[in-house]
Protein backbone atom coordinates (compact mmCIF):
# COMPACT_ATOMS: atom_id res chain seq x y z
CA UNK A 1 0.00 0.00 0.00
CA UNK A 2 1.25 3.44 -0.84
CA UNK A 3 0.51 6.53 1.19
CA UNK A 4 1.06 9.78 -0.65
CA UNK A 5 0.08 13.31 0.25
CA UNK A 6 -3.50 14.05 -0.89
CA UNK A 7 -2.96 17.23 -2.88
CA UNK A 8 0.25 15.90 -4.34
CA UNK A 9 -1.18 12.87 -6.05
CA UNK A 10 -4.17 14.34 -7.82
CA UNK A 11 -2.55 17.53 -9.01
CA UNK A 12 0.71 16.07 -10.13
CA UNK A 13 -0.36 13.35 -12.50
CA UNK A 14 1.60 13.75 -15.67
CA UNK A 15 0.53 12.75 -19.12
CA UNK A 16 1.79 9.36 -20.09
CA UNK A 17 4.07 9.86 -23.00
CA UNK A 18 4.29 6.45 -24.60
CA UNK A 19 1.86 3.64 -24.43
CA UNK A 20 3.26 1.04 -22.12
CA UNK A 21 3.04 -2.66 -22.79
CA UNK A 22 -0.28 -3.54 -21.21
CA UNK A 23 0.55 -5.45 -18.07
CA UNK A 24 -0.59 -8.99 -17.64
CA UNK A 25 -1.57 -10.19 -14.22
CA UNK A 26 2.14 -10.84 -13.59
CA UNK A 27 5.15 -9.34 -15.37
CA UNK A 28 8.47 -9.66 -13.62
CA UNK A 29 12.00 -8.75 -14.58
CA UNK A 30 15.68 -9.25 -13.90
CA UNK A 31 17.57 -5.98 -14.27
CA UNK A 32 21.32 -6.36 -13.72
CA UNK A 33 23.80 -3.51 -14.11
CA UNK A 34 26.90 -4.47 -16.09
CA UNK A 35 29.24 -2.98 -13.49
CA UNK A 36 30.87 -6.37 -12.95
CA UNK A 37 30.23 -10.03 -13.70
CA UNK A 38 27.18 -11.70 -12.18
CA UNK A 39 27.85 -13.43 -8.84
CA UNK A 40 25.96 -15.80 -6.57
CA UNK A 41 23.83 -12.94 -5.17
CA UNK A 42 22.74 -12.03 -8.71
CA UNK A 43 21.86 -15.69 -9.30
CA UNK A 44 19.54 -15.65 -6.27
CA UNK A 45 17.70 -12.67 -7.75
CA UNK A 46 17.50 -14.24 -11.20
CA UNK A 47 16.23 -17.58 -9.85
CA UNK A 48 13.69 -16.03 -7.47
CA UNK A 49 12.32 -13.53 -9.98
CA UNK A 50 12.09 -16.24 -12.68
CA UNK A 51 10.48 -18.93 -10.53
CA UNK A 52 8.05 -16.47 -8.96
CA UNK A 53 6.92 -15.20 -12.37
CA UNK A 54 6.71 -18.59 -14.05
CA UNK A 55 4.95 -20.26 -11.13
CA UNK A 56 2.18 -17.70 -11.67
CA UNK A 57 2.21 -18.10 -15.46
CA UNK A 58 3.75 -14.65 -15.66
CA UNK A 59 6.17 -12.98 -18.07
CA UNK A 60 9.86 -12.58 -17.18
CA UNK A 61 11.86 -9.86 -18.89
CA UNK A 62 15.55 -9.02 -18.82
CA UNK A 63 16.77 -5.43 -18.85
CA UNK A 64 20.39 -4.34 -18.80
CA UNK A 65 20.75 -1.23 -16.64
CA UNK A 66 23.71 0.41 -18.29
CA UNK A 67 23.08 4.16 -18.01
CA UNK A 68 26.12 4.65 -15.78
CA UNK A 69 28.61 4.35 -18.61
CA UNK A 70 31.77 5.16 -16.57
CA UNK A 71 30.98 2.24 -14.23
CA UNK A 72 30.47 -0.35 -16.97
CA UNK A 73 32.96 -3.17 -16.46
CA UNK A 74 34.44 -4.56 -19.66
CA UNK A 75 33.04 -7.96 -20.55
CA UNK A 76 30.33 -7.94 -17.90
CA UNK A 77 27.53 -7.47 -20.39
CA UNK A 78 28.49 -10.54 -22.37
CA UNK A 79 28.92 -12.46 -19.10
CA UNK A 80 25.34 -11.54 -18.11
CA UNK A 81 23.98 -12.71 -21.47
CA UNK A 82 26.04 -15.92 -21.35
CA UNK A 83 24.80 -16.65 -17.81
CA UNK A 84 21.17 -16.23 -18.80
CA UNK A 85 21.65 -18.87 -21.46
CA UNK A 86 23.90 -21.24 -19.49
CA UNK A 87 21.63 -21.23 -16.43
CA UNK A 88 18.60 -22.10 -18.54
CA UNK A 89 16.59 -18.87 -18.21
CA UNK A 90 14.24 -18.10 -21.08
CA UNK A 91 13.33 -14.41 -21.14
CA UNK A 92 10.17 -13.20 -22.82
CA UNK A 93 10.64 -10.62 -25.53
CA UNK A 94 13.82 -8.79 -26.41
CA UNK A 95 16.42 -7.92 -23.83
CA UNK A 96 16.46 -4.15 -23.55
CA UNK A 97 19.45 -1.90 -22.83
CA UNK A 98 18.86 1.37 -21.01
CA UNK A 99 21.64 3.17 -22.82
CA UNK A 100 19.51 2.92 -25.99
CA UNK A 101 16.59 4.61 -24.26
CA UNK A 102 18.10 7.88 -23.06
CA UNK A 103 15.70 9.95 -25.16
CA UNK A 104 12.76 8.39 -23.31
CA UNK A 105 14.16 9.35 -19.89
CA UNK A 106 14.88 12.87 -21.19
CA UNK A 107 11.25 13.18 -22.28
CA UNK A 108 10.05 12.20 -18.82
CA UNK A 109 12.41 14.79 -17.34
CA UNK A 110 10.81 17.38 -19.62
CA UNK A 111 7.38 16.40 -18.27
CA UNK A 112 8.65 16.86 -14.73
CA UNK A 113 10.18 20.23 -15.62
CA UNK A 114 6.92 21.40 -17.16
CA UNK A 115 5.17 20.60 -13.88
CA UNK A 116 7.88 22.37 -11.84
CA UNK A 117 8.68 19.15 -10.00
CA UNK A 118 12.43 19.27 -10.57
CA UNK A 119 15.19 21.85 -10.30
CA UNK A 120 18.79 22.28 -11.33
CA UNK A 121 21.35 21.74 -8.59
CA UNK A 122 24.93 22.93 -8.71
CA UNK A 123 26.04 21.40 -5.41
CA UNK A 124 29.06 19.19 -5.76
CA UNK A 125 29.48 16.05 -3.71
CA UNK A 126 32.05 17.94 -1.62
CA UNK A 127 29.58 20.73 -0.85
CA UNK A 128 27.04 18.20 0.39
CA UNK A 129 29.39 17.10 3.16
CA UNK A 130 28.63 14.07 5.27
CA UNK A 131 24.91 14.76 5.51
CA UNK A 132 23.35 12.52 2.92
CA UNK A 133 19.98 14.25 3.09
CA UNK A 134 19.94 17.16 0.71
CA UNK A 135 19.40 20.49 2.43
CA UNK A 136 17.51 22.18 -0.44
CA UNK A 137 20.36 24.63 -1.09
CA UNK A 138 19.44 25.03 -4.77
CA UNK A 139 15.71 24.34 -4.56
CA UNK A 140 14.63 27.96 -4.95
CA UNK A 141 17.54 29.32 -6.96
CA UNK A 142 15.89 28.64 -10.35
CA UNK A 143 19.21 27.83 -11.99
CA UNK A 144 19.24 26.95 -15.69
CA UNK A 145 19.19 23.18 -16.23
CA UNK A 146 22.13 22.91 -18.62
CA UNK A 147 25.21 21.18 -17.15
CA UNK A 148 23.69 20.84 -13.69
CA UNK A 149 22.32 17.91 -11.76
CA UNK A 150 18.51 17.62 -11.75
CA UNK A 151 16.77 16.90 -8.47
CA UNK A 152 13.18 15.91 -7.77
CA UNK A 153 11.29 18.07 -5.28
CA UNK A 154 9.85 15.76 -2.68
CA UNK A 155 6.96 16.57 -0.37
CA UNK A 156 6.72 15.98 3.34
CA UNK A 157 4.91 12.68 3.00
CA UNK A 158 5.32 9.25 4.40
CA UNK A 159 5.52 6.51 1.81
CA UNK A 160 4.84 2.95 2.94
CA UNK A 161 4.62 -0.33 1.13
CA UNK A 162 4.01 -3.93 2.07
CA UNK A 163 6.95 -6.06 0.99
CA UNK A 164 6.07 -9.71 0.39
CA UNK A 165 9.04 -10.88 2.47
CA UNK A 166 10.21 -7.96 4.56
CA UNK A 167 6.77 -6.72 5.65
CA UNK A 168 5.76 -3.08 5.95
CA UNK A 169 8.47 -0.58 5.08
CA UNK A 170 8.04 3.19 5.42
CA UNK A 171 10.09 6.35 4.88
CA UNK A 172 9.43 9.99 5.62
CA UNK A 173 10.43 11.19 2.21
CA UNK A 174 11.55 14.73 2.92
CA UNK A 175 13.25 14.27 6.27
CA UNK A 176 14.75 10.82 5.78
CA UNK A 177 15.63 10.88 2.09
CA UNK A 178 15.40 14.45 0.78
CA UNK A 179 15.22 15.77 -2.79
CA UNK A 180 17.00 13.18 -4.91
CA UNK A 181 18.96 13.28 -8.14
CA UNK A 182 17.34 12.12 -11.39
CA UNK A 183 20.15 13.21 -13.68
CA UNK A 184 23.75 13.81 -12.67
CA UNK A 185 25.87 16.81 -13.52
CA UNK A 186 27.84 14.66 -15.96
CA UNK A 187 24.60 13.99 -17.87
CA UNK A 188 24.14 10.41 -16.65
CA UNK A 189 20.52 9.44 -16.04
CA UNK A 190 20.17 8.15 -12.50
CA UNK A 191 19.05 4.62 -11.78
CA UNK A 192 15.96 5.87 -9.86
CA UNK A 193 14.51 7.54 -12.94
CA UNK A 194 15.38 4.86 -15.48
CA UNK A 195 14.05 2.01 -13.33
CA UNK A 196 10.70 3.69 -12.69
CA UNK A 197 10.17 4.62 -16.33
CA UNK A 198 11.16 1.22 -17.69
CA UNK A 199 9.16 -0.78 -15.16
CA UNK A 200 6.17 1.22 -16.35
CA UNK A 201 6.87 1.05 -20.08
CA UNK A 202 7.58 -2.68 -19.91
CA UNK A 203 4.32 -3.27 -18.06
CA UNK A 204 6.09 -4.70 -15.01
CA UNK A 205 3.74 -5.60 -12.15
CA UNK A 206 6.07 -7.44 -9.74
CA UNK A 207 9.60 -6.50 -8.65
CA UNK A 208 11.79 -9.20 -7.08
CA UNK A 209 15.30 -7.97 -6.18
CA UNK A 210 17.91 -7.83 -3.42
CA UNK A 211 17.17 -6.25 -0.04
CA UNK A 212 20.03 -3.77 -0.65
CA UNK A 213 17.51 -1.89 -2.80
CA UNK A 214 14.79 -1.69 -0.12
CA UNK A 215 15.67 1.89 0.78
CA UNK A 216 15.30 3.01 -2.82
CA UNK A 217 11.78 1.70 -3.08
CA UNK A 218 9.95 4.61 -1.42
CA UNK A 219 11.70 7.04 -3.78
CA UNK A 220 10.63 4.94 -6.75
CA UNK A 221 7.05 4.62 -5.49
CA UNK A 222 6.86 8.40 -5.05
CA UNK A 223 8.26 9.16 -8.49
CA UNK A 224 5.97 6.57 -10.09
CA UNK A 225 2.95 8.10 -8.37
CA UNK A 226 3.90 11.61 -9.60
CA UNK A 227 4.03 10.22 -13.11
CA UNK A 228 0.67 8.51 -12.74
CA UNK A 229 2.13 5.00 -13.11
CA UNK A 230 0.41 2.03 -11.47
CA UNK A 231 1.74 0.64 -8.19
CA UNK A 232 3.99 -2.41 -8.21
CA UNK A 233 4.23 -5.39 -5.90
CA UNK A 234 7.66 -5.75 -4.24
CA UNK A 235 9.65 -8.63 -2.85
CA UNK A 236 13.14 -7.91 -1.50
CA UNK A 237 15.27 -11.01 -1.13
CA UNK A 238 17.80 -11.66 1.62
CA UNK A 239 21.37 -10.93 0.56
CA UNK A 240 24.05 -13.59 0.32
CA UNK A 241 26.92 -12.62 2.65
CA UNK A 242 30.58 -13.57 2.39
CA UNK A 243 32.61 -14.93 5.30
CA UNK A 244 33.56 -11.40 6.37
CA UNK A 245 29.89 -10.55 6.83
CA UNK A 246 29.76 -8.35 3.71
CA UNK A 247 27.10 -8.71 1.06
CA UNK A 248 28.39 -10.27 -2.14
CA UNK A 249 29.04 -7.44 -4.54
CA UNK A 250 31.25 -6.41 -7.36
CA UNK A 251 33.04 -4.02 -4.95
CA UNK A 252 33.81 -6.90 -2.59
CA UNK A 253 35.16 -8.89 -5.51
CA UNK A 254 32.51 -11.59 -5.37
CA UNK A 255 33.40 -14.52 -7.60
CA UNK A 256 31.98 -14.37 -11.11
CA UNK A 257 29.42 -17.12 -11.81
CA UNK A 258 31.20 -20.01 -13.49
CA UNK A 259 29.18 -21.13 -16.51
CA UNK A 260 30.73 -24.60 -16.35
CA UNK A 261 29.28 -25.04 -12.86
CA UNK A 262 25.75 -23.92 -13.74
CA UNK A 263 23.85 -27.00 -12.42
CA UNK A 264 25.68 -27.04 -9.07
CA UNK A 265 25.33 -23.28 -8.61
CA UNK A 266 21.63 -23.46 -9.46
CA UNK A 267 21.17 -26.19 -6.89
CA UNK A 268 22.95 -24.03 -4.29
CA UNK A 269 20.83 -20.98 -5.13
CA UNK A 270 17.60 -22.96 -4.82
CA UNK A 271 18.85 -24.33 -1.50
CA UNK A 272 19.80 -20.83 -0.26
CA UNK A 273 16.25 -19.69 -1.02
CA UNK A 274 15.15 -22.65 1.14
CA UNK A 275 13.09 -24.18 -1.62
CA UNK A 276 12.60 -27.96 -1.94
CA UNK A 277 15.69 -29.61 -3.44
CA UNK A 278 15.96 -30.11 -7.21
CA UNK A 279 17.82 -32.92 -8.99
CA UNK A 280 21.07 -32.15 -10.79
CA UNK A 281 20.16 -32.01 -14.45
CA UNK A 282 20.26 -29.65 -17.38
CA UNK A 283 19.63 -26.13 -15.98
CA UNK A 284 16.37 -25.73 -17.91
CA UNK A 285 14.96 -28.87 -16.32
CA UNK A 286 16.21 -27.88 -12.87
CA UNK A 287 14.41 -24.55 -13.19
CA UNK A 288 11.24 -26.30 -14.33
CA UNK A 289 11.36 -28.44 -11.18
CA UNK A 290 12.05 -25.38 -9.01
CA UNK A 291 9.08 -23.57 -10.58
CA UNK A 292 6.77 -26.52 -9.92
CA UNK A 293 7.90 -26.58 -6.27
CA UNK A 294 8.16 -22.79 -5.78
CA UNK A 295 6.92 -21.65 -2.38
CA UNK A 296 7.54 -18.02 -1.37
CA UNK A 297 6.58 -18.74 2.23
CA UNK A 298 9.79 -20.79 2.60
CA UNK A 299 12.18 -17.96 1.63
CA UNK A 300 13.91 -16.62 4.76
CA UNK A 301 12.28 -13.33 5.82
CA UNK A 302 15.48 -11.54 6.64
CA UNK A 303 17.87 -9.05 5.13
CA UNK A 304 21.00 -11.21 5.25
CA UNK A 305 21.69 -14.87 4.48
CA UNK A 306 24.67 -15.96 6.55
CA UNK A 307 26.25 -18.75 4.60
CA UNK A 308 29.82 -17.90 3.69
CA UNK A 309 29.02 -17.42 0.04
CA UNK A 310 31.84 -16.55 -2.31
N1 LIG B 1 20.30 -2.70 -11.72
C2 LIG B 1 20.18 -2.94 -10.31
C3 LIG B 1 21.34 -3.80 -9.84
O4 LIG B 1 22.00 -4.45 -10.63
C5 LIG B 1 18.88 -3.63 -9.95
C6 LIG B 1 17.71 -2.76 -10.18
C7 LIG B 1 16.37 -3.30 -9.75
O8 LIG B 1 16.18 -4.53 -9.70
O9 LIG B 1 15.50 -2.49 -9.51
O10 LIG B 1 21.58 -3.82 -8.64
Distance 72 CA to ligand 1 centre (A): 14
How close is the Cα of 173 to the center of ligand 1, in Å?
A: 21
Query: Does residue 239 register a pLDDT over 60?
Result: yes
Between CA 236 and CA 248 the distance in angstroms is: 15
The ligand 1 atom at the shortest distance from the C-alpha of residue 209 is 8
Q: What is the pLDDT of residues 107-165, one digit of tens each?
A: 999 999 999 999 999 998 777 766 678 989 899 999 999 999 999 999 999 999 999 99
Strands 167-172 and 158-163: antiparallel
| Ligand 1 lined by 195 (C-beta under 6 Å) | yes
pLDDT by residue (tens digit) across 73-108? 999 999 999 999 999 999 999 999 999 999 999 999
CA of 35, closest atom in ligand 1: 4
C-alpha span between 98 and 80 (Å, rounded): 15
Q: Rounded CA gap, 178 and 68, in Å?
A: 22
Q: Is 217 in the pocket of ligand 1 (CB under 6 A)?
A: no
Nearest CA to ligand 1 atom 6: 31
Q: How far is the CA of 33 from the centre of ligand 1 (A)?
A: 6
Residue nearest to atom 7 of ligand 1 (CA): 31
- The finding on whether 31 has its CB within 6 A of some atom of ligand 1 is yes
Ligand 1 center to 145 CA (angstroms): 27
Question: What's the rounded Cα separation, in Å, for the pair 88 and 290?
Answer: 12
The domains of the chain are located at 7-298
In this predicted structure, what is the pLDDT of residue 250? Answer: 74
Across 18-32, 167-181, 219-233, least confident range: 18-32
CA 61 to centroid of ligand 1, rounded, Å = 13
| pLDDT tens-digit readout, 269-279 | 999 999 999 99
Are residues 48 and 266 in contact, defined by beta-carbon separation less than 8 angstroms?
no
- To which CATH superfamily is domain 7-298 assigned? HUPs (3.40.50.620)
Position 254 scores a pLDDT of 84
Amino acid sequence: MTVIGGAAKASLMLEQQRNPVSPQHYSGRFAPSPTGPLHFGSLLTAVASYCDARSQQGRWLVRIEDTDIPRIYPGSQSHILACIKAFGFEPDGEIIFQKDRLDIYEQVLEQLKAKDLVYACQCTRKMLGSNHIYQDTCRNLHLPFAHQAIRLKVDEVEICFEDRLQGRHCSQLKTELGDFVLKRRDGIINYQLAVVVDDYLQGITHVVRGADLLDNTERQIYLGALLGYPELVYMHLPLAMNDQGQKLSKQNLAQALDLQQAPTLLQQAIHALQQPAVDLDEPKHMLAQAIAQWDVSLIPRQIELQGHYL
